[in-house]
Amino acid sequence: MGHSVAKSNIDYDDNDEKMIQDYFEQLTDMFEKAGFTDIKTSDSKQAPGLDIHEMGAYAWATTQKLPS
């Protein structure tokens, strides 16, 4: 009968990149105001999934097509 294997094709998009830059700016500002020093930002570039918070991949009970 054979055995099906899952395929993953998931990635970040432009919204994620902008969000990361804003996070760096906002947290740096909050840390500076608190008198913290040696403030460093880093982007792990980790693949999706390692957050262990995936959800969805199904669009409720609707026949409506999602925007691509």
Report the interface residues with another protein, using CB under 8 A: 4-12, 14-16, 18-20, 22-24, 26-28, 30-31, 33-67
CB of 22 to another protein, least distance (A): 6
Contacts of 35 (CB under 8 A, 6+ apart): none
Overall size of the chain counted in residues? 68
Residue type (1 letter), 23: Y
Longest dimension (CA), the chain: 64
CB of 49 to another protein, least distance (A): 4
CB of 47 to another protein, least distance (A): 4
